[in-house]
A and B are shown apart, each in its own frame.
Chain A
Amino acid sequence: MFTKIELKKGVNLYIRPTEQFKTISMSFRWTAKLSAKQAASRTVLSNVLQDSNEDYPKQSDLRKALDELYGSVFYMDSGKRGNSHIVSLNMECVNDEYLQTSGVFDEVLNMVSTVIFRPNLKDGKFDETIVNREKRSVMERIRSVYDDKGRYAQKRMLELMRPDHPASISSNGTEEDVQNITADSLVETYEKMLTEDAIDIYIVGDIKQDTIVEKIRTMFDFKEREISYERYENAPIEMKETRQVFEKQDMKQGKLQVGYNTPITFFHKDFPKMQVMNGILGGFAHSKLFMNVREKESMAYTINSVYSANYGILYVLAGIDAQLEEKAVTMIQEQLDAIKTGEVTDLEVDQTVALLANSIRSAFDSARGQIELFDQYKQLDENFNADKLIAEWHEVSLDDIKRMASTIQMELIYLLSGREA
């Protein structure tokens, strides 16, 4: 679905000309090995690069320029996948065709180039005031997870299951790591990112392939680089017994997280089978968890299961009355046992495959969805498209589903609840 052009060794351009959208979307992605320290530094760097540059040393001027370009959207972000940390620069502008003006796209490209190659440096250093301000912003972002009880419960579950492990390292790093960043160390991070990271550039929209390739080649003269790509492999987990951890805060509802491990990861050949198993268990409104724990027992409003394939983790999350924790865990385990013993109807399988197909096709109806999905699945297949994956889901048999369910082991029961419960 994307055409790949290798600009330089380690620097790839992926383009998709389409008339589907009224805008042109771009995403530049820098990928390096994940560590908490690097994550912190790269996140602060992306904030600093987003703030200002040589052409626009003041944030308000940069924002004014973007407004003049018909509200072009520009933001930088940081995330993780497996043992990789990814910094992304995202830009979206209206296709000139819909405006009473022209040249918007070219100006936007210019601006992207400035953000990347001409940051706001003084004497070879980032501005201390800006660095300190953005350090503070990132620290506040890290801390704010506490205020969102659902996210906090999930973070705790991952920390308890996989301490000091890519699965639990935040893509923002830790507060302490952020605190240690200096204006000097940030320049090192910047230079390393520009010269050593794997770079993927995505462009989706009504564009002409030849012209765009030429423009990108000249405007973004990245150096070639050696990428020693290490595919992330999950170390086998030695399971002794299921742990229970209950924590308290001032809140009304109980947030239950049940964590399981599985040897089936994203790169395993059985990955699509596990996706179907997870859909039957708790991916949708027809799934076993929703139908039994919510609809039959009226115990929860939210209950679903998530398959975190990168780390071989599957977890169930539910908002419940904390006093019903034991009953809820028993019921969750019953649903999983039912799948293990093959108590799954053809209807459940068909519904799940149909909805998985619908969700992936629907995701392709946005430029961002196209970029995100392709970027992930190209690790398996550079010629990835939705139909191939959908065909694999259709092949999944009841035996496969039973087998997938039996690879799963309950590792942790975590409950975050109110103090008086």
Chain B
Amino acid sequence: MEKITFDNLQETLFHERLDNGLEVYILPKRGFSKTYVTFTTKYGSIDNTFIPRGKDEFVTVPDGIAHFLEHKMFDKEDGDVFQKFGVLGASANAFTSFTRTSYLFSTTQNLYESTKVLLDFVQEPYFTKEKTDKEKGIIAQEITMYDDNPDWRNYFGTIQSLYEAFPINIDIAGTVDTIQEITAEHLYECYETFYHPSNMSVFVIGAVDVDEMMDFIRKDQLGKSFSEPEEIVRKYPEEPIQAGQKKVVLEMDVLRPKFNYGLKCNNVSIEGEEMLRQDLAVNLLLDILFGRTSEFYTTAYAEHLIDETYNYDFTFEKGFGFAMIGSDTEKPDELEATIKKTINAQKTEWTITKEDLDRSCKRRIGQFMRSLNSIEFISNQFTQYNFNGMNLFDVVPALEKMTLNDLKEAFQTVNNEESHSVMTIIPPVKEG
């Protein structure tokens, strides 16, 4: 077992790669009464074209299958897994993202029994035609719920306009039509390919005895048999630099327009330290140009181009990256023009100073420290970073090393107007 200490943060992380390839991380937190355990596979909605385990040709599976599989994992021959967690007093859940599927629970009692339930249910697939078909009604309601949510439509619609080819443009849950095509055979094929321990990791954080827990997981895995690890071959289409669509307008039953400006990042084939630097640099850049201390924010709020719903963020993983700046607004055109002007002004003349950078770094350091109070944040963020070759606990040193030149380079990756798109949800246009 490897022990990694982060003195300045007063945190210690323990790590071991088991014989079957499973990565196990344990981080004890003093003072916490709960323990949070996640079991995650590097498999999300973007992994839709791959060579199934034991085959030699690529297949493309129906949209929404990773999420469908996540739902079906809870349904076993002897009943619903939530019941088992419930008896133990553990609160269980799961989520599917573009790149990951995570199964998790949090508990203040029966930690080992709950860990056993988690490891077993994720490692014992059970899919039948009947149960697969039955789930379609529930997921169709989930999809319809998102269809009625204008903020989600705006967020996802922006991704779809930015990305023409890369499968991040596929809705994580699929559509009511695509999920009809999903069969139990599909589920087994995806499961066998992506749920091998060598493609997965376990993260345990909170109230936990490190040695006992590591031993418990090690023994559990030794007691189960797995095939040999194999490299997973995925295929992604080439994504052009330009945005797929420059402008999309969608009518929904809202009272005020919802505006979202998307910026596609053009340097996404990096990982590790380089990726962390670019990730943080784009975030700092957004803080400086579009945050609450910025000229942009002051003017836009005063002139009523933005309101309390104003928000911006940057999402970055291997293969894709995009920033978004959005708000409810009566004046979407003016807001778009002001955002473009803010970006173009920096292209013409760079005005960001060392003082801006230092202040924003301080803010991000504080924000990071604060998020270390949340064991859910540490667990989920660590796993996402780890799958991209980054270490969450390098954030503070990386911020301290940040230079203006890093910001300039980061600016180059997102400032091309050809790679931007605008999505607006508007109230129904009255006819006649």
Q: Which residues of A contact B (CB under 8 A)?
A: 18-23, 58-60, 63-64, 66-73, 92-94, 98-99, 133, 136-137, 140-141, 143-144, 146-149, 249-253, 284-286, 290-291, 294-295, 297-302, 319-321, 347, 350-352, 354-355, 357-359, 361-362, 364-367
A326 → chain B, closest Cβ, in Å? 17
Chain B, residue nearest A139 (CB): B307
- A98-B370 in contact (CB<8A): no
B427 → chain A, closest Cβ, in Å? 9
A to B CB contacts below 8 Å, 25 in the list: A22-B369, A22-B373, A59-B292, A59-B298, A60-B292, A64-B359, A67-B359, A71-B365, A92-B370, A93-B366, A94-B365, A94-B370, A136-B304, A146-B255, A147-B256, A253-B141, A285-B80, A285-B86, A286-B83, A298-B135, A299-B141, A301-B142, A354-B109, A358-B90, A365-B375
Chain A, residue nearest B139 (CB): A301
Among B31, B135, B206, B256, the residue within 8 A (CB) of A18 is B31
Contact residues in B for A284 (Cβ distance below 8 Å): 82, 86, 91
A282 → chain B, closest Cβ, in Å? 13
Compute how far the CA of A297 lies from the CA of B304 in the bound complex, rounded to whole angstroms.
Answer: 48
Contact residues in B for A22 (Cβ distance below 8 Å): 9, 369-370, 372-373
Among A63, A64, A251, the residue within 8 A (CB) of B148 is A251
Residue in B148, B252, B365 whose Cβ sees the most chain A Cβ within 10 Å: B148
Contact residues in B for A299 (Cβ distance below 8 Å): 137, 141
Contact residues in B for A364 (Cβ distance below 8 Å): 33
- A362-B106 in contact (CB<8A): yes
- A251-B89 in contact (CB<8A): no
B10 close to A (CB within 8 Å): yes
- B138-A298 in contact (CB<8A): yes
B393 → chain A, closest Cβ, in Å? 13
Chain B, residue nearest A205 (CB): B373
A16 → chain B, closest Cβ, in Å? 11
Among A18, A73, A359, the residue within 8 A (CB) of B91 is A359
Contact residues in B for A73 (Cβ distance below 8 Å): 370
- A358-B91 in contact (CB<8A): yes
B352 close to A (CB within 8 Å): no
- B369-A354 in contact (CB<8A): no
Contact residues in A for B370 (Cβ distance below 8 Å): 22-23, 71, 73, 92, 94
Contact residues in A for B144 (Cβ distance below 8 Å): 252-253, 319, 321
Residue in A252, A350, A362 whose Cβ sees the most chain B Cβ within 10 Å: A362
Chain B, residue nearest A360 (CB): B108
Compute how far the CA of A2 lies from the CA of B87 in the bound complex, rounded to whole angstroms.
Answer: 32
- A94-B366 in contact (CB<8A): yes
- B252-A143 in contact (CB<8A): no
- A98-B10 in contact (CB<8A): yes
- B256-A60 in contact (CB<8A): no
A413 → chain B, closest Cβ, in Å? 19
- A358-B87 in contact (CB<8A): no
Contact residues in B for A301 (Cβ distance below 8 Å): 138-139, 141-142, 145
- A358-B108 in contact (CB<8A): yes
Residue in B83, B141, B254, B375 whose Cβ sees the most chain A Cβ within 10 Å: B141
Chain A, residue nearest B108 (CB): A361
- B30-A250 in contact (CB<8A): no
- B254-A358 in contact (CB<8A): no
B428 close to A (CB within 8 Å): yes
B227 close to A (CB within 8 Å): no
Contact residues in B for A146 (Cβ distance below 8 Å): 254-255
Q: Give 1 or 0 for each of B67-92: 1 = CB within 8 Å of chain A CB.
A: 00000000100001011001111111
- B369-A70 in contact (CB<8A): yes
Chain B 125-170 residues near chain A, CB threshold 8 A: 134-139, 141-142, 144-145, 147-151
- A253-B147 in contact (CB<8A): yes
Contact residues in B for A252 (Cβ distance below 8 Å): 144, 147-148
Compute how far the CA of A133 lies from the CA of B36 in the bound complex, rounded to whole angstroms.
Answer: 43
B408 close to A (CB within 8 Å): no
- A295-B80 in contact (CB<8A): yes
B380 close to A (CB within 8 Å): no
Q: Which residues of B contact A (CB under 8 A)?
A: 8-10, 30-34, 75, 80, 82-83, 86-92, 106-109, 134-139, 141-142, 144-145, 147-151, 206, 252-256, 258, 291-294, 297-298, 301-302, 304, 307-309, 328, 359-360, 362-367, 369-370, 372-375, 428
Contact residues in A for B141 (Cβ distance below 8 Å): 253, 299-302, 319-321
Compute how far the CA of A93 lies from the CA of B369 in the bound complex, rounded to whole angstroms.
Answer: 9
Among A19, A67, A136, A351, the residue within 8 A (CB) of B363 is A67
- B137-A298 in contact (CB<8A): yes
Residue in A63, A133, A147, A250 whose Cβ sees the most chain B Cβ within 10 Å: A147
Compute how far the CA of A299 lies from the CA of B135 in the bound complex, rounded to whole angstroms.
Answer: 10
B375 → chain A, closest Cβ, in Å? 7
Contact residues in A for B374 (Cβ distance below 8 Å): 366
Among A60, A297, A302, the residue within 8 A (CB) of B298 is A60
Among B149, B308, B428, the residue within 8 A (CB) of A250 is B428
Among A319, A354, A357, A362, the residue within 8 A (CB) of B87 is A354
A24 → chain B, closest Cβ, in Å? 11
Among A99, A148, A251, A355, the residue within 8 A (CB) of B86 is A355
5 closest cross-chain pairs (CB), A and B? A354-B89, A20-B31, A71-B366, A70-B366, A298-B137
- B253-A21 in contact (CB<8A): no
Among A21, A294, A362, the residue within 8 A (CB) of B108 is A362
Given contacts A60-B293, A94-B369, A319-B144, contact A67 B360 (CB under 8 A): yes
Contact residues in B for A297 (Cβ distance below 8 Å): 137
- A68-B362 in contact (CB<8A): yes
Compute how far the CA of A136 lies from the CA of B30 in the bound complex, rounded to whole angstroms.
Answer: 45
Given contacts A70-B363, A71-B362, A362-B106, contact A98 B369 (CB under 8 A): yes
Compute how far the CA of A23 lies from the CA of B369 in the bound complex, rounded to whole angstroms.
Answer: 8
B29 → chain A, closest Cβ, in Å? 8
- A137-B142 in contact (CB<8A): no
Among B87, B142, B252, B328, the residue within 8 A (CB) of A347 is B87
Contact residues in B for A18 (Cβ distance below 8 Å): 31
Compute how far the CA of A364 lies from the CA of B375 in the bound complex, rounded to whole angstroms.
Answer: 13
B155 → chain A, closest Cβ, in Å? 14
Residue in A67, A98, A285, A297 whose Cβ sees the most chain B Cβ within 10 Å: A67
- B138-A71 in contact (CB<8A): no
Contact residues in B for A133 (Cβ distance below 8 Å): 301-302, 304
- B366-A60 in contact (CB<8A): no
A109 → chain B, closest Cβ, in Å? 16
Contact residues in A for B253 (Cβ distance below 8 Å): 249-251
- B108-A71 in contact (CB<8A): no
Compute how far the CA of A73 lies from the CA of B83 in the bound complex, rounded to whole angstroms.
Answer: 39
Contact residues in B for A352 (Cβ distance below 8 Å): 86
Chain B, residue nearest A134 (CB): B308
A223 → chain B, closest Cβ, in Å? 33
- A141-B308 in contact (CB<8A): yes
- B293-A355 in contact (CB<8A): no
- A144-B86 in contact (CB<8A): no
- A362-B363 in contact (CB<8A): no
Compute how far the CA of A93 lies from the CA of B365 in the bound complex, rounded to whole angstroms.
Answer: 11
Chain B, residue nearest A101 (CB): B362
- List 6 additional A-B contacts (Cβ < 8 Å) besides A63-B291, A144-B255, A354-B87: A69-B366, A143-B255, A284-B86, A299-B137, A351-B83, A354-B109
